[in-house]
Amino acid sequence: MNRKLTPVENLVLPCQDEFDVDLLMFFGWGFLELAFITFIGGILVGVLGGLLGVGGGVFLIPFLVGVLDVAPIEAVGLSLFCVVGTSVGSAGRALKGNDINIGLGFVVEVCMVSGVVFSSIAAHRLSSTGLLRLFSLLTLSLAVLFVFRALRGSREKNSLFRTDSSSENLHWLDGECVEPSEGIVHYRPRHARWIGVLVCGSGVASGLFGIGGGMLNVPILTLVGGLPLRAAAATSSFAMALTGAAGAMIYFSQGTVPLFMVVPLLLGVIPGGSIGMSFQSQLPVKFLRLLFAFLAAVVGIWGLVRSIRGES
Amino acid sequence: MNGSCGKENSLTTSSKAKITASLAMFIASVIAIVLLSTGYVDAISHNNANEIFQLEPLVSSDRALSWRELVGLVGAFFLFLVPVVRNFALFRLPQRPLRNWAVASTFVWLALLIWRGGILFS
């Protein structure tokens, strides 16, 4: 195809060959084996995505590139299809409960898509290596912050901006969550405008690197908006339906998505996301924070390695 | 919800609109999977995954699309429809700002579809 390479391709294409079915045959894999492995990977990615409110690209891209030898540019496109599937599984389940803050979810998805579009337009003018390094350092910092908060003990209760459920002036951004000692508590997100601005940046990172949506959105919603972790994860899952579809459309229109791999992936991530979301409500917040911190650290280190590879 | 003020807080309760949205997302994704599977079965039968469903021929106009590729295209489109069918269901939420944001979200999706669809078929 005669088109300019995006920063993602510039970073990763020199390191990998094009996806080649012959390679699968070399490993003795037929399509059914490939489908089965992709399906299992999809379930794992979906469960983690549902637990933490992330799309799953951060787990899926290394899996597709490292295990299945998919070309990285195709892996990014596939992971964006997977993000839609995770959102169907996890947000679809969460919509039956009360964890999703729908108003904030709309704000997040619209602002984030703006960032994705900006990044796809300005991609060739941006220093991708520098941005990836910045993104990695930011993710590592968030990992440290989440570990610190998990070990220090829950401060969510204090940071929650409570509203009176009996008030006649319910705001459209109001949400509700379950506090162990108090039952259902109504809250209002703090700094909604800042959340909008910050998730735009998250969209830029997502558009450039195919990762970073939920991994940045959940910390933004908890640390800036003061949302409980579970509500932040559910709201992030809700928003990912549009951001994932937007990113998938962009890659799809470039013809770089191997659609035959989408089916087993979706068959895995949709139930996986639903399972992850149902487990999420049963796990302690401290565990979820530590798990999130661990995965953020892995993503940060992975991003640093990618940025160093891109220079060499 | 049985709010103490006697007024239902439809923002946060498990309303009918939210259940419908959940169901609509699921149905759209199931249709997408069924349509995409049509091409996948062909790939298993003929071991020709490199020739079908890569969509590079569509972009570079090397050859005409087979009917399976067309079905695959429609299947992918149904997956892209997931946020829109969700938004259509949420248009019934009682608060006007929420409905406005649902409309905004749908317009953003539509703009992207026109932009990227224009590139794909130009």
Model confidence band, residue A43 (pLDDT cutoffs 50, 70, 90): very high
Is A88's CB within 8 Å of B25's CB? yes
Scanning A52-81 for CB atoms below 8 A from B yields 81
Inform me whether the pLDDT recorded for A310 exceeds 80: no
Chain A residues touching B108 at Cβ < 8 A = 110, 113-114, 242, 246
Query: Which alpha helices (H) appear in chain A, and where do they start and end?
Result: 7-12, 21-26, 31-52, 57-66, 72-94, 102-122, 128-152, 156-159, 192-209, 213-219, 229-253, 262-280, 285-311
Kindly report, residue by residue over A232-245, the tens digit of the pLDDT: 888 999 998 998 88
CA-only gyration radius of chain A, Å: 19
Instruction: Identify the sign of the CA torsion A164, A165, A169, A171.
Output: positive
pLDDT for the residue A238: 92
Shortest alpha-carbon distance between residue A90 and chain B (Å) = 10
Helix (H, G, I), strand (E, B) or coil at A299: helix
| A187, closest residue in chain B (CA to CA) | B12
Chain A residues touching B13 at Cβ < 8 A = 98
Model confidence band, residue A153 (pLDDT cutoffs 50, 70, 90): low
Q: How far is CA A266 from CA A42, A149, A228, A249, in A?
A: 7, 34, 29, 16
| A248, closest residue in chain B (CA to CA) | B80
| B120, closest residue in chain A (CA to CA) | A253
Is A21's CB within 8 Å of B86's CB? no
Helix A102-122 and helix A229-253, axial crossing angle in degrees, nearest 10:
40
Is A117's CB within 8 Å of B50's CB? no
pLDDT for the residue A271: 92
For residue A122, give the nearest of A210, A246, A205 by alpha carbon: A205
Q: Which residues of A129-166 are buried (b: 16+ CB within 10 A; e: fewer)?
A: bebbbebbebbbebbebbbebbeeebebeeebeebebe
Across chain A, mean pLDDT equals 77
Give the H/E segment covering residue A179: strand A175-179
| Rounded distance between C-alpha atoms, residue A270 and residue A38, angstroms | 13
Kindly report, residue by residue over B40-59, the tens digit of the pLDDT: 666 555 555 444 455 555 55
pLDDT for the residue A107: 92
Shortest alpha-carbon distance between residue B50 and chain A (Å) = 7
Chain B residues touching A1 at Cβ < 8 A = 56, 59-60
Instruction: Identify the sign of the CA torsion A257, A260, A264, A267.
Output: positive
Model confidence band, residue A9 (pLDDT cutoffs 50, 70, 90): very low
| A4 reaches B (C-beta below 8 A) | no
Model confidence band, residue A255 (pLDDT cutoffs 50, 70, 90): confident
The mean per-residue pLDDT over the stretch B20-29 comes to 93
Size of interface A-B (CB pairs under 8 A): 183
Shortest alpha-carbon distance between residue B120 and chain A (Å) = 5
Shortest alpha-carbon distance between residue A259 and chain B (Å) = 5
Inform me whether the pLDDT recorded for A105 exceeds 70: yes
pLDDT for the residue B23: 93
Is A84's CB within 8 Å of B82's CB? yes
DSSP code, position A177: E
pLDDT for the residue A154: 52
pLDDT for the residue B24: 93
The mean per-residue pLDDT over the stretch A283-303 comes to 85
Q: Which two tokens stand for residue B66?
A: 């087979």
Which of B29, B49, B119 lies at the smallest CB-CB distance from A21? B49
Q: Which of A90-104, A182-196, B26-40, B46-60 has the lowest mean pLDDT?
A: B46-60
Is B22's CB within 8 Å of A92's CB? yes
Burial class (CB in 10 A: 0-12, 13-18, 19+), A297: middle
Is B109's CB within 8 Å of A246's CB? yes
Kindly report, residue by residue over B60-82, the tens digit of the pLDDT: 555 666 777 778 788 888 999 99
Which of B14, B29, B58 lies at the smallest CB-CB distance from A255? B58
Task: Quote the pTM value.
Answer: 0.82
Inform me whether the pLDDT recorded for A173 exceeds 90: no
Q: pLDDT: is A247 or B6 the higher one? A: A247
pLDDT for the residue A300: 83
Is B90's CB within 8 Å of A102's CB? yes
